[in-house]
Chain A
Amino acid sequence: MDAFFVSVELLARPELRGKPVVVGGRPDHRGVVSAASYEARKFGIHSAMPLRTAARLCPHAVFLDGHSALYSEWSDRIAAIFAKYSPIVEMASVDEAYLDLAGTERLHGPPLAAAHKLRCEIWERTHLPASMGLAATRLVAKVASDQAKPRGLLWVAPGMEEVFLAPLPVRKIPGIGKVTEAGLHALGIQTVGQLAAVPLEKLENAFGQWGVALHRKARGQDAYEFFLDAEPKSISHNHTFGVDIDDAETLHTTLSHLAEKATKRLRDSGLYARVVTVAIRYKSFKTITRAKSLREPTDLDSVILATAKELFQANRDRRQQVRLLGVALSGFEHAAPQLDLLDAGRRERLEKLARATDRLREKFGFSKLQRGSSLRLPDDE
């Protein structure tokens, strides 16, 4: 998605279209830019830049607070559109996904036509701009999508991968960051084409195993296949607080919200979880994770929330402020077959309730229906 957070904000503030817009918070606050409109990017503003720096670069930019719950809601809606185009969708992040279009010709036509149709449908249904790259490997598709931005669709025909990549700076390859870039520059390598020309041994000597991967990446190959068996090993939701927190109420509502989010996704995948894990990262960056195995697998919010709370309360160090909270579910099974003797029918009733809740959320958005314990989230208004 193009400047996703900004695009979502502009849905509510259309008068800001065409202006430099920065999402992340007020310019005099500590914190960093989450997203910048293309107009703001012209001033050199990019994500992860301190807000104060952004304000200096472009004092007349409009600074907006972020609404992460809103973004993930829109992300869910877009994911639902993806699902119509391919059974194999990998959401790489809230605004980025890989779709495997192999075998979808009879439904949607040749890949290029399908991609075009998909991009149009996203625009019609959400009014959010998207860009796409179409290629034989995930790596090339990702680079092509970046090159296509904004609002573009770029197809790299099979066999043209190396030609397409060659003139690009090495930094464009996913996985190459500041450190590798500097290492490559030191070897006199600036472009992907130059990188592709370096013998494998030389890269291996300089970078070890990573050198082998670089050699492959420079040719547009990736070792990463789509997993047909797309069942996840775990489902987790984390929240990093804007400011470190020690207020019990905020921590509990956040935990409850995360547990609800994770459980909804669990049900969406048709799974039941046997293990609940809670992660707490403190101000000091010290991180603890604590897990509990349930006697029987569940997909019910009430059970998972109670377990998460129990783990949190038993393990939280109250002397330290919390920076991040996370709830993860794992130990998946496809059914919870054991019926209850003492309270027969209770679980069936709770499962019905959960399914009804999910249907309402799909229609009106996740935050429209929440447990009381999840309310009052500061960034959720």
Chain B
Amino acid sequence: MDFSVKKFDLLAELNLTQGVVERKTTIPILSNLLCEAKGSRLTITATDLEISICTACDAKIKKEGAGTIPAKKLLELVRLLPDSEIKFKLLDNHWVEIISDRKKYKMVGMARDNFPQLAPAPHPLVKIPAKILSAMIARTAFAISTEESRYTLNGALLVLKPESAVMVATDGHRLALVETAHKFDGLNAEVRVLVPRKAMMEVQRLAAEAGEDAQVDFARDDTNLYFQFGGRLLISRLLTGQFPNYEAVLPRENDKKITLDRNELNDAVRRVAQLADQRSHAVKMALSKDGVEISSSSPEYGEAKETIEMEWKGPEISIGFNAQYLLDFLGAAAEGPISLELKDEQSAGQLRPLGDEAYQYRYVIMPMRI
């Protein structure tokens, strides 16, 4: 292997691999990147066995071949190098020589044969606009459970239908559901897959790099999901198991509805949360004829009370929510009016942004006993 590549071409691809490379791994080779020089392209692969990324950039290849290089060290070094051509050459014992002008480095590599083989991508099932994937992930990813024991909640459910796409995530306390209309050419049946959290983060990163109009070739087989962004391929192990029947928990009788401005509500909850109990993060929302009172108290810090004035003719109702859960949603929701829909103190509340035309977005949040 002997090639040269422009610093910024290489750096852009190296940056994309960093989320995948394991920091703490018991398998040393997984800390390395696989670099393959072939034709006029340099292909870079990273994997943690759960998720893999394969990306490429133009390079001048003198001699085809492949080697593995420690990912973190390579990124740090390339970042610090001046903007010029960088030459790579595989030496004996898997070492790799890196030369930029008169600067010379040798990094300890590992045998290419020890690097795991990636599954080849099957024929794409459908094209999804990167923009849609990214928008759906931004509206749901925060609601994914981080509890490893709740395995099937460690990802989001993606449902592709011939004319729409749905994404749902829940951690058992709240649920985020987003749906958008889009005609998927060539899709005749419904596709339901569980996408792990880490894969969602990487898809979002790749979508941001790919630009406004990029299309993602999506494919799946029995074990993996494949997201192809042009020359870049993300492979993620499929989460198996039964995602909860989310439709059963969507509220249907929440007849107490008020409309609030997203920014106004967001700012009020953020301020009031400062004095909420530091462990439970509980804030209280009370609807009365004066409007919505948002309050909190904690024995250590004191208490907070804010009123958003508005007309409310319905019965008085007072309900507790985890402030962080509210803020997660408000941060992801589109600006403009938000509909808050309640039933009673014990039942799930629902929040919907009304100004979001492209995405039907619902957030269901279970109250706290206060």
A interface, CB within 8 angstroms of B:
274, 295, 297, 310, 333, 335, 337-344
Contacts and interface: CB of A to CB of B under 8 A. Distances in A.
A341 B175 CA distance: 8
Chain A to chain B: the 6 pairs with minimum beta-carbon distance, closest first: A337-B368, A341-B366, A337-B369, A339-B366, A342-B172, A342-B244
Given A337-B320, A339-B367, A341-B366, A295 B170 contact: no
B368 A339 contact: yes
B147 A295 contact: yes
A310 B365 CA distance: 29
B154 to A, nearest CB: 13
Interface residues of B, number: 23
Contact of B172 (A274, A297, A333, A341): A341
Given A333-B279, A337-B280, A337-B320, A342 B249 contact: yes
Interface string B27-52: 00000000000000000000000000
A110 B367 CA distance: 50
Interface in B167-226: 170, 172-175
A65 B249 CA distance: 56
A286 B322 CA distance: 42
Contact of B364 (A295, A337, A341): A341
Contacts of B10: none
B249 to A, nearest CB: 6
B240 interface: no
Nearest to A306: B149
B249 A338 contact: no
Contacts of A344: 249, 366
Interface in B318-354: 320, 322, 346, 348
Contacts of B358: none
B80 interface: no
B144 interface: no
Nearest to A310: B149
B370 A341 contact: no
B368 A338 contact: yes
Contact of A341 (B149, B174, B280, B282): B174
A28 to B, nearest CB: 48
A209 B357 CA distance: 73
A344 B346 CA distance: 10
B370 A337 contact: yes
A333 B279 CA distance: 9
21 contacts: A274-B279, A295-B147, A333-B280, A337-B320, A338-B280, A338-B322, A338-B368, A339-B366, A339-B367, A339-B368, A339-B369, A340-B173, A340-B366, A341-B348, A341-B364, A341-B365, A342-B170, A342-B172, A342-B244, A343-B172, A344-B249
A340 B346 CA distance: 10
Contacts of A338: 173, 280, 322, 366, 368
A181 B365 CA distance: 65
Contacts of B149: 310
Contacts of A335: 280, 369
Given A295-B147, A335-B369, A340 B172 contact: yes
B194 to A, nearest CB: 15
A335 B370 CA distance: 9
Contacts of A342: 170, 172, 244, 249
Interface in B270-287: 279-280, 282
Contacts of B244: 342
Interface of B: 147, 149, 170, 172-175, 244, 249, 279-280, 282, 320, 322, 346, 348, 364-370
Nearest to B172: A342
Contacts of B173: 338-341
Interface centre among B170, B172, B244 (most CB of A within 10 A): B172
A47 B190 CA distance: 74
B4 to A, nearest CB: 48
Nearest to A343: B172
A341 B368 contact: no
A297 B173 CA distance: 14
Given A342-B170, A342-B172, A337 B346 contact: no
Contacts of A343: 172
A338 B321 CA distance: 8
Contacts of A341: 170, 172-175, 249, 348, 364-366
Contacts of B174: 341
Nearest to B322: A338
A295 B150 CA distance: 12
Contacts of B369: 335, 337, 339
Contacts of B147: 295
Contacts of B364: 341
Contacts of A333: 279-280
Nearest to A274: B279
Nearest to B369: A337
Given A340-B172, A341-B172, A343-B172, 11 more contacts: A333-B279, A333-B280, A335-B369, A338-B322, A339-B366, A340-B366, A341-B174, A341-B175, A341-B249, A342-B249, A344-B249
Contacts of A274: 279
A298 B336 CA distance: 39
A133 B108 CA distance: 74
A286 B280 CA distance: 37
A335 B279 CA distance: 11
A339 B325 CA distance: 13
Nearest to A297: B279
A299 to B, nearest CB: 14
A247 to B, nearest CB: 27
Nearest to B347: A344
A114 B229 CA distance: 82
Contacts of B175: 341
A305 to B, nearest CB: 13
A337 B282 contact: yes
Contacts of A340: 172-173, 366
A342 B320 CA distance: 18
Contact of B346 (A295, A310, A339): A339
Nearest to A337: B368
A207 to B, nearest CB: 40
Nearest to A339: B366
Contacts of A337: 280, 282, 320, 368-370
B132 to A, nearest CB: 26
Contacts of B320: 337
Interface centre among B174, B280, B320 (most CB of A within 10 A): B280
A350 to B, nearest CB: 15
Residue from the set A274, A295, A343, A344 with the largest chain B CB neighbour count within 10 Å: A295
A342 B244 CA distance: 8
Contacts of A297: 279
A303 to B, nearest CB: 10
